[in-house]
Structure 1
């Protein structure tokens, strides 16, 4: 069983939606965490988060201003840290397309800095957050996250005698996260018109809590080099619009550059190294440092069929309008009424 009591943990991008959710859940479950370092570059968000988690009640939290692009600052922040969760990224697709080198510096060079700094310090486990857009990417954001994923997975092969383990978790649209579609629709519905990119569009759905649980699963079980993918439901964008604003006009505005109609998390090319773990799928590394046979036996893993793919348009589980409304109330806005 994973036990974070008396452990020192660092979260990059820790003031984001995931970082705050992880902090809340981790401190409720393990109140004796030794140190929880919130590493981010936005002082205003750190100030706001410090109001939610005051030092008088949470003396183990440390707010550390820094940028993953700055190797020396990253290495300084990692002193004495045992577990790292890498959630920092430039993630807005249009902004990344317009500022490509900035996206590369944060998402790729930043990943390299995290890896090298972890290898030089006392870090034991690293879990990096990925995205569905890294599977067969068609935009720069997805391409940089695919490169980041490859760096973290390959880091297991350059660690030498260091027992550190690097793994990756990949999931889709996080319900209620900053910049996601549901808060956007909730804000737009007062105008009476909800912009729909394409009526056929679908997305996977995962709650922040489920995302945190997945990272904790990786921290507990990863052997090093795995890429974990959750089994989660899909929704149709038109159903989300109906759930949020049933009386609103749905205006089709066309898909944005670099956007897909359906999210994809496992491609058919990944199927050769993909296994079913029950609650999750896992894509194993091309060059593992351990026996695949032992891994399969230990986790009772089942090989997926050759050519298997996992995308939001061909999913077996769907959220309808009433289910979406219930989830919005539970995970996004408790005061929401349709």
Structure 2
């Protein structure tokens, strides 16, 4: 039985790809008392209401994570929060840095403070592989947000609220995915643009990401950063799985883009253990002033451990990727 069962859950950014997948899972499997969507776009909320058929357990709050008072109102009576709201486009962040800081950094601080003041029990925030050794503005804001949530446990030490973070890579089927664009181009007989033919990435499906968040609520004490042990893939193999035989051309890395992604740096690896039969890595907090206890079930990783997409021990082939995309369709 999950800790989330029968509880009141709020999802910031609840009309995004992850938010809708999480809500569908919660309604189907967790029997929540209430699921509260907190997002700023009324059209997306209208479309989501149609998707969930006006389920009586759903509540809808228009609001921005930049607005702490609105967050506090929305969190009244809430047991658990999933923080999925963020600005995420790497190239957009390079040209609009202040806006990304307002949402991803200040918004995260607002979520932490509102959750403590509202008496929320547990908060899980979504991060990204781009937060590990960041080279772009988006990644830097998400690394800062990771720190805000992990260290938010210090602010909440005398309160019941606890915070943890999940970090994962590219999600199949998420909004903004290159896959629909590639399919349309291939149907027109066009060559597929690849940012760099050498690129590698991590790949996770939406159901896997949702289950990871549910599992994190159950395993967390507060202060953990949880990373899935998932396969890597070559970007050219993804393109061939999407459009077999299609021509490809190299367009070069975009501003702020890495050749290979990283989810755990060498320095972070010193705090990593594996849990749940190797399904997840947990980065334990460096400070534990709120009473964190080192995990007895954690299996230490090797000395000098580094989780990067080109150095992974798990890999998807073209056929593997095609099977994942088919199952995720």
Q: What is the TM-score of this pair, normalised by structure 2?
A: 0.96
The alignment status of 1:78 with 2:75, answered yes or no, reads yes
DSSP 3-state at the match of 2:82: strand
Q: Counterpart of 2:15?
A: 15
Are the equivalent residues in 2 in contact too, given 1:268–1:306 (CA < 8 A)?
no
From 118, 140, 149, give the equivalent of 1:152.
149
Q: Name the residue aligned to 1:272.
A: 270
- Residue 109 (structure 2) aligned to one of 109, 112, 126: 112
C-alpha distance 291-3 of structure 1, shift in aligned 2 (>3 A): closer
Instruction: Write out aligned runs for 1:1-338 (5 A).
Output: 1-31=1-31, 33-55=32-54, 58-191=55-188, 192-277=190-275, 278-289=278-289, 294-297=293-296, 300-331=297-328, 333=329
**Partner SS state of residue 18, structure 1:** helix
What CA distance in whole angstroms lies between the structure 2 residues aligned with 1:200 and 1:129? 28
Separation in structure 1 between the aligned mates of residue 157 and residue 283 of structure 2, nearest angstrom: 23
Instruction: Determine helix, strand or coil for the equivalent of 2:193.
Output: strand
Question: For the residues of structure 1 that align with 2:34 and 2:66, how far apart are their CA atoms?
Answer: 23
The CA distance in 2 between the partners of 1:230 and 1:275, in whole Å, is: 12
SS at match of 1:112: helix
Cα offsets for 1:141-179 (capped at 9, x unmatched) = 000000000000001111132121100000000111111
Cα deviation 1:16-70 (Å, max 9, x = unaligned):
0101110111111123x11100111111111111111122xx1011111100001
Q: TM-score, normalised by structure 1?
A: 0.93
For 2:285 and 2:244, how far apart are their aligned partners in 1?
45
Query: Is the 8 Å Cα contact of residues 3 and 30 (structure 1) preserved in structure 2?
Result: no
Alignment partners' CA distance in 2, 1:271 and 1:119: 30
**C-alpha displacement of 1:204:** 0.4
Aligned length: 326
Where structure 1 has 5 or more consecutive residues not aligned to the other structure, the ranges are 334-338
The range that moved more, 303-312 or 216-225, is: 303-312
Q: In 1, Cα distance between the equivalents of 2:309 and 2:273? A: 19
Which 10-residue stretch deviates more, 181-190 or 78-87?
A: 181-190
Which string of whole-angstrom CA distances, capped at 9 and with x for unpartnered residues, describes residues 168-193 of structure 1?
00000011111123233223322322
TM-superposed CA distance for 1:224, in Å, is: 0.4
Instruction: Give the secondary-structure state (helix, strand or coil) at the position aligned to 1:206.
Output: strand
Tell me the distance in 1 between the aligned counterparts of 2:177 and 2:198.
18
Gaps of 5+ in 2: none
After superposing on structure 2, the runs of 4+ consecutive aligned residues of structure 1 that deviate more than 6 Å are none
Q: Given that residues 14 and 38 in structure 1 are in contact (C-alpha distance below 8 angstroms), is that contact kept between their aligned partners in structure 2? A: yes
| Structure 2 equivalent of residue 336 of structure 1 | none
* Contact 2:87–2:100 (Cα < 8 Å) also in 1: yes
